[in-house]
Structure 1
Amino acid sequence: MLWLFLHLHVLTVLCDAPLPSRPQSVLVDRWHLTWRPAPGEEDLNFTVYYHSFKRPTDKDEWEVVPACNQTPSLWCDVGFTRAQAEHGCVKLQVQAQTRELISKPSQACSVHGDSCTPEVRLSARPGSLTVHLTKSHSLFQEYAAHATHRIYFGQEGASLQGHIISASSWTVDGLEEGRRYCARVEFTIFNKSVGLPSCVQCELIPERVSSTHAVVVAVVVVLLLVLVVPLTAYVLIFHRGYMKRCLKPPCRISEDLLQPLQPGVPQLVLSPCEEHCSVVSSLLPAEETLDH
């Protein structure tokens, strides 16, 4: 009876205790998985799970990464999981655990594009945002039109719930200027997501330049060209001498050279004087000179 009471008491305590928060910033950088606990969470262990893509009809069966099962570390080398799947298409997630309580899983995203992670680039214009994608990847070469992109899109800070399916780059119009919009992209095969998604990227939608402002800028530029160019040409043509004198460095003569010479002081020779030399008409060997 006592054992039953204690067992019920433990179950009541566990049911009333809040679940640990999900791990945050779960990132994969060249198959090195990192994460961090939620603020205020302590004494946690973490378990990493992976799902390998083998066929489009496979079920989502998650397996534990043996090296990262209930570990207190905040990183895990998951390179071996890539060899378990076709094209290296592996999904990863991390759960936090304290005592008998387990958090909800946090999906990992890839910092860099890979054979099974899309290469994503965003470009913003007033009122629109373009998600640049490419068809040059191994999945498209094998599955053709059945290999597409699922693009999650929304304002920064909001949950990216809505998505579209696109085979290549996609542009959305009618966006609010001055706001930041974000996108996350993953590969799909037969409308089933595969591999690691790209990490969320955000761009600021620039504001349009009003027509009045554009006219003012154009007028100012024209006036500068009309005034500055002729003035510069006039100065260069008619006042070159004045400009040279202004740019010429100052020349100072030593005061010693300006003082009169004192008696007994040798005069400084500024140029070599002429020497009087005899001209030798010919040279004879020493023996011939002795004979003579």
Structure 2
Amino acid sequence: MTCSFFFRIVLIFQHRRLLLALSESPPAPQNIHVDNWLLTWTPASEGDTTYTVQYSRFNNRKWTNVSSCVHISSNSCNVTSTKAEAEHGCVRLRVRAERRGLPSPPVEACSRHGDTCTPDLSLMPGPGSLTVYLTMNHSLAQEYGRHAKYRVYYGKEGEPLLKYEDAEASVTISELQEGQRYCVQVQYRYFKSSIGLPTCTQCELIPESKKDSNQTVILVVGPIMVPVLLIPLIAYFLICKSERIKQWLRPPYELPEDFLESFPEHHLPISSSSPTEECWDVISSISPQE
């Protein structure tokens, strides 16, 4: 009983220590982007937080510290030196905050401008869809052919961009909710590896379909216009075309050929004898009266 009680006390103490450590961890850096090889981010509010910048070479998953940007207190770092460390100068960058020896989760950087390592894109929203225009003739495609592709991440604004499509050029994302804002981020891919910096997130509002708007107008105006049009039309036919309407309503009448045969002979209303012929004298000539 004593050992079990002691074991529970140790577990509770370790659990509280872990919660305390997590609460002291600094928040992850935000708004990390590169502009002309100058990496900047939004600093934390605490003054004792430092930052470390790391990079990953092309087709390599290992992250290495940028020597000039380890445990720095500023919110920017010149990463020009990393360009010479990778093939085609394509590297991925990320920043991690640290406070009292406790690191935050690292956050990858994006690029606001397209270059040889970052796609250049433009967006065109449509009813229920969003077209991402991308060029097929980029430098990596010339080097690696169809093995170099785009990975287009997308999702609703404010939500993680978990969905994606791989394409060699422009792509249209369909079945999007109209009236909602959708965001896109694009990055080069070579086989299963990410290449270079992704584009910074761009968002567009998906417009509503004109067809739906027209249907709404029809549903609203239709019940009002139908009586307005029908009442004068009915009145016209009743007043001006009454004789014609009577003719249309008069049923066709025609005796069948076997109508008389259906009656017995003694009930026939029409006599079968022929009418008596009258005799007439033929006048051969006429003489004038004297």
- Kindly state the Cα deviation for residue 126 of structure 1 after the two structures are TM-superposed: 1.3
Any residues of structure 2 matched to 1:262-277 within 5 Å, and which? none
| Aligned residue number for residue 113 of structure 2 | 112
Q: Deviations over 1:44-76 (max 9, x none)?
A: 1000001111xx4xx311111111110000000
For the Cα contact (< 8 Å) 1:152–1:183, is it kept in 2?
Answer: yes
Q: Deviations over 1:111-161 (max 9, x none)?
A: 100101011111101111001111221110010010001111111111001
Match status 1:45 vs 2:46:
no
Fraction of identical pairs, as percent = 47
User: 5+ residue gaps in structure 2?
Assistant: 1-12, 219-290
Post-superposition CA distance 1:227-286 (Å, at most 9, x none) = xxxxxxxxxxxxxxxxxxxxxxxxxxxxxxxxxxxxxxxxxxxxxxxxxxxxxxxxxxxx
Distance, in Å, in 2 between the alignment partners of 1:10 and 1:74 is: 34
| Structure 1 position 31 matched with structure 2 position 32 | no
Change (3 A) 1:141 1:214: farther
For the pair shown, which has the larger CA radius of gyration, 1 or 2? Answer: 2
- RMSD of aligned Cα (Å): 2.3
1:77-109 deviation digits (Å, cap 9, x = unpaired): 001111111111100000000011000100000
Q: 1: CA distance between counterparts of 2:217 and 2:121?
A: 33
Instruction: Give the match's secondary structure for 1:159.
Output: coil
Specify the SS of the correspondent of 1:164: strand
Aligned length: 202
Q: Please give the residue correspondences for 1:168-187 in structure 2 after superposition, counting only pairs within 5 Å.
A: 168-187=169-188
Once superposed, which parts of structure 1, at least 4 consecutive aligned residues long, lie more than 6 Å away?
A: 9-12, 212-215
User: 2:146 & 2:48 partners in 1: Cα distance?
Assistant: 48
Q: Note if contact 1:20-1:98 (Cα within 8 Å) is conserved in structure 2.
A: yes
Shift in CA distance, 113/212, structure 1 to aligned 2, threshold 3 Å = same
8 A contact 1:22–1:37 mirrored in 2:
no
Superposition pairs of residues 162-201 of structure 1, within 5 angstroms: 162-201=163-202
- The equivalent residue for 1:283 is none
| Corresponding letter in the other structure for 2:50 | N
Contact 1:186 1:196 in 2 (8 A): yes
TM-score (norm 1): 0.65
Q: Which moved more, 1:141-150 or 1:9-18?
A: 9-18
Q: Which amino acid aligns with 1:156?
A: E
- Rounded to whole Å, the distance in 2 between the matches of 1:214 and 1:168 is 39
Aligned residue number for residue 20 of structure 2? 16
Unaligned runs of 5+ in 1: 1-8, 216-292
